[in-house]
């Protein structure tokens, strides 16, 4: 029976890819204005349906907070749209009259969008907008735990796109979720590129598929509170970032690194703002329920509140506790909470100075999260700039990491696919936008004269044996004088 299900899912994947290719070939003839009209309609539809899609996501996955998922859906629609609406993606993008180069944009074709369970509806909205803005079709592969809400989000934006003039099949979603169907879609001839947001296994599979791919690595964002920081604001930003949707955004803060001179001030502020600092025994209890011994998250506690986690761990915390703070003496094996935690738990370290904080941040990132995100709270511009050289793609300053990383509170491109660069085996370190989903052609005129092979006189470069003998005689005669 399982084999029949897998076989039918593979056939459905093939059918969707073929339909998407046919639809994209029609869309490829559309003008920039026609594309923009479709994208605007998709934005409005996604925004209008943001609330029930968010409710559906929470009900199905049990992850996160309804109100925050609404905000993510609105950001993925209106926030992304505002950023991309004036982009030129089709036809002539630019002309350089000095170097006489004309740059032309053309679609890549069919995009495969792999969707995580942590941000299932907002990621669909975002990926659909950037794919169609670039003139592409997109086929989604949902996470098994978010199958219904992912399909619902895809249907919302597809219906809006078609009503605005897009061809049927331009946006679709696998109706059956199997690894066989996902693998078939990854390798299908009609799929041009993979946009992968999900677990390490799926991202690795995307890069191993033989197709061009944009994948994202794990996040494990360390946040350093340097001694010149506005401590009250820094703590507020950290709690805001970590509790937003209960920490399921991959750029969320995962470890606090505190400069030793302000340790007591930071801890007092944490407690006053709703954090609970765990004792050594409580750290072990929370570790056991939240993490596996290998440093992996237990799925049942992803995106859950601090009160739920404390209850599962059998510890008593004050009513209304927002986050659990776990002081650790090290990282790596033996310290499971030093790894990525997509929930309301933060590791906690004290460092002697910014140099030690910097080294610890690098060690934590190398453990997990290389290339992703680092945050610093400081008023010392010289120290802030020291962190530019660190192995991450986003260095966020005086802002909640989760919200700054996706571009909500910073000037970064609004995105739910955050590249980690070659440090993490990713093909980009950017926040992915429509410009990553177009091919750029260049028409270039000749500027500099080249040697004219057609009319230049030929030089005889061949020397006969007789010529060599005469040269030798001449040289010997010169030597005898």
Residues designated as active site: 250
CA distances from 144 to 61, 120, 179, 245 (A): 10, 11, 10, 20
Closest-CA residue to 110 (of 88, 90, 127): 127
> Distance between CA atoms of 385 and 387, rounded to whole angstroms?
5
> Distance between CA atoms of 118 and 206, rounded to whole angstroms?
19
Tokens of 407: 């571009």
Write the CB contacts of 217 (distance below 8 Å, at least 6 apart in sequence). 200, 203, 369, 370, 371, 372, 420, 424, 425, 426
If you search the block for the tokens 């010997």, which residue do you land on? 476
Beta pairing, strands 323-327 & 275-277: parallel
Backbone angles phi, psi at 297, to 5 degrees: -80, 140
Tokens of 231: 């401590």
Closest-CA residue to 38 (of 417, 434, 408, 406): 434
Residues 221/252, Cβ–Cβ less than 8 Å = yes
Q: Coil, strand or helix: which one is 400? A: coil
Q: Coil, strand or helix: which one is 447? A: coil
> Distance between CA atoms of 162 and 41, rounded to whole angstroms?
9
Through-space distance between the first and last CA atoms of the chain, rounded to whole angstroms = 103
Write the CB contacts of 150 (distance below 8 Å, at least 6 apart in sequence). 115, 120, 121, 124, 140, 142, 143, 173
> Distance between CA atoms of 236 and 137, rounded to whole angstroms?
41
> Distance between CA atoms of 73 and 414, rounded to whole angstroms?
12
> Distance between CA atoms of 218 and 203, rounded to whole angstroms?
10
């Amino acid at each position: 029976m399982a084999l029949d299900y897998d076989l039918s899912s593979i056939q459905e994947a093939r059918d969707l890819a073929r339909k998407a290719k046919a639809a994209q070939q029609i869309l490829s003839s559309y003008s920039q204005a026609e594309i923009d009209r479709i994208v605007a309609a998709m934005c409005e539809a996604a925004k209008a349906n943001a609330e029930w899609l968010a409710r559906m996501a929470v009900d199905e996955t049990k992850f996160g907070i309804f109100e925050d998922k609404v905000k993510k859906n609105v950001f993925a629609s209106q926030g992304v749209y505002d950023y991309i609406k004036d982009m030129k993606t089709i036809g002539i993008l630019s002309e350089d009259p000095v170097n006489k180069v004309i740059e032309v944009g053309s679609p890549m074709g069919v995009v495969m969008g792999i969707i995580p369970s942590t941000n299932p509806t907002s990621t669909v909205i975002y990926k659909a907008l950037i794919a169609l803005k670039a003139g592409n079709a997109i086929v989604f592969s949902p996470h098994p735990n978010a199958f219904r809400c992912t399909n619902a989000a895809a249907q919302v934006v597809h219906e809006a796109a078609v009503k605005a003039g897009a061809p049927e099949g331009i946006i679709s979603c696998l109706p059956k979720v199997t690894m066989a169907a996902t693998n078939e879609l990854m390798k299908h001839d009609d799929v041009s590129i993979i946009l992968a947001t999900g677990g390490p296994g799926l991202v690795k599979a995307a890069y191993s598929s033989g197709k061009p791919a944009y994948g994202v690595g794990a996040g494990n964002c360390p946040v350093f509170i340097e001694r010149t920081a506005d401590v009250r604001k820094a703590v507020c930003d950290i709690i805001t970032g970590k509790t937003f949707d209960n920490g399921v955004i991959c750029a969320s803060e995962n470890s606090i690194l505190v400069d030793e001179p302000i340790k007591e001030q930071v801890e007092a502020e944490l407690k006053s703002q709703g954090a609970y600092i765990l004792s050594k025994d409580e750290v072990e209890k929370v570790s056991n329920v939240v993490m596996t011994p290998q440093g992996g998250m237990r799925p049942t506690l992803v995106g859950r509140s601090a009160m739920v986690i404390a209850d599962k761990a059998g510890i008593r915390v004050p009513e209304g506790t927002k986050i659990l703070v776990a002081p650790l003496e090290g990282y790596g094996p033996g310290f499971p909470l030093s790894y990525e935690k997509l929930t309301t738990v933060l590791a906690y370290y004290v460092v002697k100075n910014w140099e030690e904080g910097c080294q610890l941040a690098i060690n934590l990132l190398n453990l997990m999260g290389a290339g992703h995100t680092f945050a610093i709270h400081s008023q010392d511009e010289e120290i802030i700039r020291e962190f530019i050289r660190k192995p991450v793609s986003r260095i966020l300053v005086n802002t909640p990491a989760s919200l700054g990383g996706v571009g909500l509170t910073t000037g970064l491109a609004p995105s739910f696919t955050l590249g980690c660069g070659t440090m993490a085996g990713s093909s980009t370190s950017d926040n992915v936008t429509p410009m990553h989903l177009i091919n750029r052609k260049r028409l270039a005129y000749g500027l500099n004269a080249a040697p004219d092979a057609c009319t230049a006189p030929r030089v005889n470069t061949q020397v006969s044996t007789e010529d060599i003998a005469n040269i030798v005689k001449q040289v010997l005669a010169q030597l005898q004088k």
